[in-house]
Amino acid sequence: MWCLDIISIITSIIENLFFTGAVFSWPALQCILTKQGYFSELCFNTNISNSSQTSADYKSLTCVPAEKRFNLVFNLAASLMLISALPFVFIMSRYGTWVSRTVATTLYTTAFIMLALMTVRTSGLIFAATIFIAVGGMQLFITDEQLGHLSPSFESAYVTMISGLFNTSAATFVIVKLVYESGTRLETAMWTLTGLTAFLWLRTFLLMPKALIPHPLPSNYKLLTMDRFEVAISKKDIVVPDETTPLQGEGVSEDSESDWKSSATSCLFWSNAINFCLTYLCFVCFVGSYVTWLSDFQTSSQIAFYISVLGYLGLAGAILSPLPDLVAEMVAYCSKNKIVDKRKRKLRGLSVTMAVTCLFSTLQAVSTVIPNVYAALAFITLFRIFVMGGNADFLTTAFPPKHLGILLSITFFVAGVVSLLQYGLFVLTRISPEGNNTANYIIIGLSVITFYHPVIVWIKSR
């Protein structure tokens, strides 16, 4: 790869580390907005005398109706983030990378401007701002995934890594929270973030192609040359490796490789999609109710501390983002004497990776019921590293890599619709202690059910 191509990949890692998944640092933003007095009109026992106070007691400033409103904000953002993936993929396919990233970056910049200008009286803007951050981040993530096409041997590892980074971008608003608690005004912090979006604009027009990166990659393709949009793909340039051959018996064959519909209607694809829906639902249930969960048994100072810990662990998790791919490759290597086909060996490794993902999800749900904060934080950090990366790596391995964008967006769309159930589960937890226990047991049950998918993949890899 050329030097500028490598720079583009490195900056995409930075982009996914701090921007694309910023909505997952929602607990920190919720804590700040609660102290500012947002949605305090829904409570009857709060007295916000100074909207900029940073040392106010969190538990005295909130109530169940306000908690429900904050949860609704996050639920809509987290769901629409995934739902938007499908239409955005078609926009990117039709109009190219620049147009898609321009729309995404505009949403991102607008969101931070809205947060900077927002006041308690205009607290309804938080709905639009959070949704813009979530949707814009998802589109930036999708445009970055195609960079893996630049090196077929590196593609699987790259997709797994940035997928893990996307889900560990929980430090963004934690940093804002620390700056806010040090005495800086929230508006100043948001204007600073608005200025930092210049990095996204520069990447769009200086380090990303105007059109889509073709797959397979032509031998004379250059990512950052002005004639890259007119590269003709001749037959001699098209070399499809053996490992991109779809699994037989799953509704996909070599003759139909160019037809993404064959992949999208296969049983294996929908097995993975349902598995991801359930695991993502469990994940957003934890993130959306994290602050409320802590407030049930922790003091206000401990709540602030554990919110920061969640962000730090998310940032630390970025170091472990290649772990799912390493685990899969290790298992595949150990299976080389039993399984001749390279593709099936990789699927054997992925079945183990997905089983580990399901295990972390279940252990996190159990830790929440106990409750044990440190155990829950450890398991949710490991889980979020594996869930996104494992999903993308599976789709890249089990189906033609050139269909990754559309298959991933369909999976995200279905998961986004299912994740709307999170708000109902949260409301159930606030009705009564019995309702809280019921919701927790439902989440544990859903986590246990997800083990069916790695078993199916293991069987298919024989």
What is the tens place of the pLDDT at every residue in 313-338? 877 777 787 888 888 889 888 888 88
pLDDT at residue 438, as a whole number: 87
Which of 57-71, 223-237, 286-300, 396-410 bottoms out in mean pLDDT, i.e. has the lowest? 223-237
Give me the number of domains the chain comprises: 1
Please work out, in degrees rounded to the nearest 5, the angle formed at the alpha carbon of residue 249 by the alpha carbons of 247 and 151: 15
User: Has residue 363 been placed in a domain?
Assistant: yes
Neighbours of 19 (CB within 10 A): 25
Peptide bond into 454 cis (omega under 30): no
User: Has residue 4 been placed in a domain?
Assistant: no
> How does pLDDT run across 411-452, given as a tens digit for each residue?
999 999 999 999 999 998 888 777 778 888 999 999 999 999
pLDDT of 456 strictly over 50: yes
Q: Which domain holds residue 99?
A: 10-245+261-460
* Amino acid letter, 176: V
User: Has residue 145 been placed in a domain?
Assistant: yes
pLDDT at residue 58, as a whole number: 65
User: Has residue 256 been placed in a domain?
Assistant: no
pLDDT at residue 6, as a whole number: 83
Peptide bond into 371 cis (omega under 30): yes
User: Has residue 1 been placed in a domain?
Assistant: no
* Burial environment of residue 175 by CB neighbours within 10 A (0 to 12, 13 to 18, 19 or more): middle
User: Has residue 292 been placed in a domain?
Assistant: yes
The CATH number given to whatever domain includes residue 173 is 1.20.1250.20
Is-contact 139 88, C-beta < 8 A?
yes
As a whole number of Å, the end-to-end CA separation of the chain is 35
DSSP H helices in 245-299: 260-264, 267-295
User: Has residue 195 been placed in a domain?
Assistant: yes
**Nearest CA among 413, 431, 259, 246 for reference residue 343:** 246
* Average pLDDT over the chain, rounded to an integer: 83
pLDDT of 268 strictly over 60: yes
Please work out, in degrees rounded to the nearest 5, the angle formed at the alpha carbon of residue 189 by the alpha carbons of 63 and 137: 80
User: Has residue 447 been placed in a domain?
Assistant: yes
Which residues, 6+ apart, have CB-to-CB distance to 150 below 8 Å?
Answer: 1, 5, 9, 213, 217, 223
For the residues of 181-239, what is the DSSP string, one character each? HTT--HHHHHHHHHHHTHHHHHHHHHSS-SSPPPSSPPTT--TTSTTGGG----GGG--
How far apart are the C-alpha atoms of 17 and 167, rounded to whole Å? 9
pLDDT at residue 224, as a whole number: 57
pTM: 0.85
